[in-house]
Amino acid sequence: MEANVFQLIWFGLWGLLWAVYFMLDGFDLGAGILHPFIAKNDTERRMVINTLGPVWDGNEVWLITAGGATFAAFPTTYAYMFSYLYTPLLIILFALIIRGVSFEFRGKKDSESWKKGWDFAIFIGSFIPALLFGVAFGNIFQGLPIDAAGYHGNIFTLLNPYGILTGILFVCLFLVHASLWLSIKATGDLRKRAQKLAKKLWPILLIVAVLFLVHTWFATNLYDNFFAAPAGFVIPVLAVVALLLSYVFMNSSYVKAFYASCVTILMVVFTGIYGLFPNLIPSSIDTAYSLTAINSSSSVYTLKIMTVVVAIFVPIVLIYQIWTYKVFSDPVTEEEIYDEEAEAY
């Protein structure tokens, strides 16, 4: 069966929403993982958290939208994905809950142990989603053991070498992304440490990325689509070029390096999406049971309505979110955190 144009559009949007989510929340999650290590005292920890303060919540809505869009456009995929991956999604959910409240709660009591507790919550609440989203996507790239009887795996099935490698790749991508973010948004010693860290972490990311590209060849069928339509190779090539550029730019402009890192993340996700098509969740045992953009989608009528909604509202969202980034484009300083007229976490 051929996909209709709206199924194509929504397959693309599905990928785009995830890609934008990882690009934006990527530096949030990365900074959440980094903050106990990169910051030397409470002031610096607060500085890290306050670089995220105005934007993290808006970033996370891209996840909710990606989930909602999956529900609306591919309800069967949504239903099976969430019920098959019950336990890992539950763990991600708990992590996101604890992380979400910790930003608000951390500064609400003047107690060392209170703050330490919430610092740990921010760390674990950032690390788990970063790692497990990677593991989940690795497994989706590989395919899940699905047949007529349903799903044949559990959380340990997901923790296979390729899944774990993808998880590590995500964590490394986000750590470099976050170091670059802090290289721009922090001030003083913290900024210098972030810049050094970005340079140190980058080679590790490069090694993991190369391993990932090679392992993908053996573990998945993603490359089949690229050989069938070689124009698609532009995407992984761009991913690699952007990754290299992010390092080159570290010598001239950390802003440029950060943008390059954004492109890297987008292109890594799109590489996976291009390779998956038309599958959203391929079956690793019998392709007849793969969930595709064709067999798991909503009706054309629903997809049309959703397309109109997205065409109107996503540009509006982009406009005010970009405006927000502009309003808060100045680096976070120590004085600002202790300024009683302004708010800070």
CB burial readout 197-212, b (16+ within 10 A) else e: bbeebbeebbebbeeb
Looking at the Cβ atoms of 97 and 288, the one nearer to other proteins is 97
**CA dihedral for 16, 250, 54, 57, sign (positive or negative):** positive
Radius of gyration of the chain (CA): 20
How far apart (Å, rounded) are the C-alpha atoms in residues 41 and 53?
Answer: 18
CB of 154 to other proteins, least distance (A): 10
Burial class, 241, CB count within 10 angstroms (exposed 0-12 / middle 13-18 / buried 19+): middle
Residue 87 CA to residue 195 CA, distance in Å, equals 37
DSSP string, 35-49: HHHH--SHHHHHHHH
CA–CA dist 300, 200 (Å, integer): 49
Which C-beta is closer to other proteins: that of 12 or that of 68? 68
- Least Cβ distance, residue 81 to other proteins (angstroms): 7
- The total number of residues written for the chain in this structure: 345
Q: Which is nearer to other proteins, 145 or 215 (CB)?
A: 145
Nearer to other proteins, 288 or 322 (CB): 322
Least distance (Å) between residue 240 CB and other proteins:
32
Nearest residue (CB) to other proteins, 180 versus 337: 337
CB atoms within 10 A of CB 143: 21
Nearer to other proteins, 117 or 233 (CB): 117
User: Angle formed by the axes of helices 75-84 and 86-106, to 10°?
Assistant: 90
CB of 89 to other proteins, least distance (A): 6
Residues that bind other proteins (CB under 8 A): 50, 53-58, 60-61, 64-65, 67-69, 71-73, 75-76, 78-84, 86-87, 89-90, 93-94, 96-98, 100-101, 103-105, 108, 150-151, 298-299, 301-302, 305-306, 309-310, 313-314, 317, 320-321, 324, 327-328, 339, 341-344
Residue 38, CB half-sphere, CA atoms under 13 Å: how many? 35
User: CB 274 → other proteins: shortest distance, Å?
Assistant: 23
Residue 116 to residue 18: CA distance in whole angstroms: 32
Nearer Cβ to other proteins (159/206): 159
Smallest gap from Cβ 91 to other proteins, in A, equals 9
281 DSSP β-pair partners: 291
Shortest Cβ distance from residue 281 to other proteins (Å)?
Answer: 12
In the block, tokens 């609440």 appear at 125
Give whichever of 36 and 67 is closer to other proteins, judged by the CB atom: 67
And the tokens for 26? 């990527």
User: Shortest gap between Cβ of 229 and other proteins (angstroms)?
Assistant: 29
**Least separation, in Å, of the C-beta of 137 and other proteins?**
17
How many CA atoms does the CB half-sphere of 143 hold within 13 Å?
22
Query: Peptide bond preceding 75: is omega within 30 degrees of 0, i.e. cis?
Result: no
Q: Is 291 helix (H, G, I), strand (E, B) or coil?
A: strand
**Nearer Cβ to other proteins (156/218):** 156
